[in-house]
Chains A and B, each alone.
Chain A
């Protein structure tokens, strides 16, 4: 049960990676995350977030990060997360107060542009400008989010940080985006490499800087492999699918010949996209240094891929079992009620109301089962990802790592508001 030859692993075996030392000297990171604990946290947080109309999400995020950070260890010491829910919540309020007027302005200008005939060129120009404002905000928000997260992280009492200007990052990103559009997407890997380098090169622990030398060319190679994979899978699907007509297959055989290859292609696309992400992440880590100490990644992709598949299946099974159970219960109940009503010959409308009440009882059960399934899937996958990746990362060790100085820059006061509102970034 393992994918031994994934497209990205092949590259590393070929040795196009100078930094990919198979066994770097140094100390490995370690992780002590518990699946049960994470599951209950996710489940509780999802529930609380929903019943508080989303407000609890800032507390949930903070608590989750505090837990996850503190399960990761380097050289005998855990990481600490110092962010507070208040910072996130205020950041969100600020974003609302600022973003919404922006939206109003846009709607108003739109109305004007709509209103006046003969301004087609202006309307086009205007919508272009608005698009760029949104793109700018998204990139800006992403940089600020990373800055917030890093300044709230410490190891051995020394805080991380991210210098550099979020505005510059956003402007440069937009230029890259334009270039990517002009080159019909070919430049995308170079854009991604530039963005990664830009952030990592400005990141630091105390006074010790990170650096990253990942190149667009190396990222491009991984993309190409991914596309070749999809291309081959699609061709195979096409050939198998067209054989349905040739053989004149009908019924089950036609379904099998037609649908299974399609399913496999889609599956490959999903798995391939995951493999691509893992592979680019590994490439990035392998090209990172912290104040001259090389960082290396040797983790495998296979456990992550299998866990993604398995956790999806488990979550779906839990969900469907709960649904079937819930509706089965409802059907039984409804049957019982109508039998009773038949016996006593009472009002059918009253029976309907009783069934409606049963619905009110069973729907929350199904709702909770859905949260349960989601939390279970996320806990299964998340823990596997951490247990695979974290111990697979190592960093050269020297006395310098014991002499990193705390930096004065304490970072932004509020966190992530724009990123939250614009839906940037992961959790």
Chain B
């Protein structure tokens, strides 16, 4: 029957109390006046100490916030530990505790998936369509300059000598373009350049710009593979994929930041998530560009099958060049893609005759 403190959950008074231990219940009696302040059934008494607490045993009736009994006297401590059987029992979950999680969780998941899977890709395409062509061209100019500068450093050649042109080569390229751009519309702004570097790659840039790197020509053993790559890149240009990529990237990083919160390492998570999502978006675009390429090739009467061969070759050809520079690293020769290309092949002719093809292949070696 030692002293303790009782705070009844109704006022901030801290009553000095005596504890009377009956068989079934604890009677809490004020020292001052002897009034009984509360009766607590022993089996409902819980210990609710906090991690930084002051050493007293903190007791509550049930789990609700409310009255607190603070026990410091060692005799009472022993009574508490000996007589109260359910001190450490966790609160039972209320019936239907999961409903909130289920409802709002699915709403949130629905909202996020809808956003990432449908809204961002769809809207970024739409928005990309409305970006003024002039901005896109400026953007493309800068991008092209940066890529050429980077490659000129790699090749240790002056920037001015990076693009290739021979009269016969240009003619062959123009012929390819003319036959592949049937449904393209106005192509007065379209620019296709061959860049003198051993790296086998091709890019579509914003503002209707395409760069074909010489390494790709070196690897191809016929005009149709190159025509296929060119048609693929034309597909990206036609659908303004690059611009919508830019918009998608900024939208995803914004949203992921929102979902993952601002925590230590949050930036890292955002980065990883972004890469994954963007590569998923990327795959859709590659498929669209492949479809476009096959369509154009078939329409022009060229056999698209060599595109598949070129892809396979590129995948094996990482060799001594940094892998990420190779077309195959962003355009892997997946069996799915190869199958699509193979199945679509209904035969057809060569995109260029042998003379024209040799002229294009040697566009970077003027005699």
Q: Identify the A interface with B (CB < 8 A).
A: 32-34, 37, 46, 49-50, 53-54, 57, 63, 66-71, 73, 76-78, 80-82, 86, 89-90, 92-94, 96-97, 99-101, 103-104, 107-108, 110-111, 114-115, 154-159, 205-206, 367, 370-371, 374, 401-406, 420-421, 423
Q: Is the CB of A90 within 8 A of B13?
A: no
- B112: A residues at CB distance < 8 A: 96, 100
In contact, B50 and A66 (Cβ under 8 angstroms)? yes
In addition to A100-B108, A205-B12, 17 A-B residue pairs with Cβ atoms within 8 Å of each other are A33-B52, A34-B52, A46-B264, A53-B269, A77-B14, A97-B107, A104-B119, A107-B251, A108-B123, A114-B127, A114-B130, A115-B130, A156-B7, A156-B68, A374-B264, A402-B11, A423-B262
Contact (Cβ within 8 A) A405 B10: yes
Asked if A54 and B260 sit within 8 Å, CB to CB, the answer is: yes
* B255: Cβ under 8 A from any A Cβ: yes
Interface magnitude class on chain B: 35 or more
| Residues in chain A near residue B70, CB distance under 8 A | 77
- List the B residue with the shortest CB-CB distance to A107: B123
B265 at the interface (CB under 8 A from A): yes
Q: How many inter-chain residue pairs (CB < 8 Å) link A and B?
A: 160
Known contacts: A103-B255, A111-B123, A406-B11. The answer to whether A32 contacts B54 by CB under 8 A is: yes
B66-109 contacts to A, CB under 8 A, are 66-68, 70, 100-101, 104-105, 107-108
User: Is there contact, CB below 8 Å, between B50 and A78?
Assistant: yes
Q: Are B13 and A93 in contact (CB under 8 A)?
A: no
C-alpha gap A107/B111 in the complex (Å) = 14
Q: Is the CB of B12 within 8 A of A206?
A: yes
Contact of B1 with A by CB under 8 A = no
Residues of A within 8 A of B130 (CB): 111, 114-115
Interface centre among B52, B65, B126 (most CB of A within 10 A): B52
Residue of B nearest to A402 (CB): B13
Query: With the chains together, A291 CA to B37 CA distance in Å?
Result: 27
Cβ of B266 within 8 Å of any chain A Cβ, yes or no, is yes
A115 proximity list for chain B (CB < 8 A): 126, 130
List the 8 shortest-distance A-B pairs measured between CB atoms, nearest first: A70-B50, A97-B107, A93-B104, A96-B108, A71-B52, A70-B52, A114-B130, A157-B7
B51 close to chain A: CB less than 8 A: yes
A423 vs B258: C-alpha distance when bound (angstroms): 8
A-B contact pairs, 11 of them (CB 8 A): A32-B54, A33-B52, A50-B264, A54-B259, A69-B50, A86-B101, A114-B131, A115-B126, A156-B7, A206-B11, A374-B264
- Judged by a CB distance under 8 angstroms, whether B336 is at the interface is no
Q: Is the CB of B258 within 8 A of A99?
A: yes
How far does the Cβ of A106 sit from chain B's closest Cβ, in whole Å? Answer: 10
Cβ < 8 Å to A, chain B residues 19-53: 50-53
CB within 8 Å for A57 and B52 given contacts A111-B126, A111-B127, A406-B9: no
Bound together, the chains give a CA A165 to CA B8 distance in angstroms of 30
Please indicate the chain A residues that have their CB under 8 angstroms from the CB of B119 in the complex. 104, 107
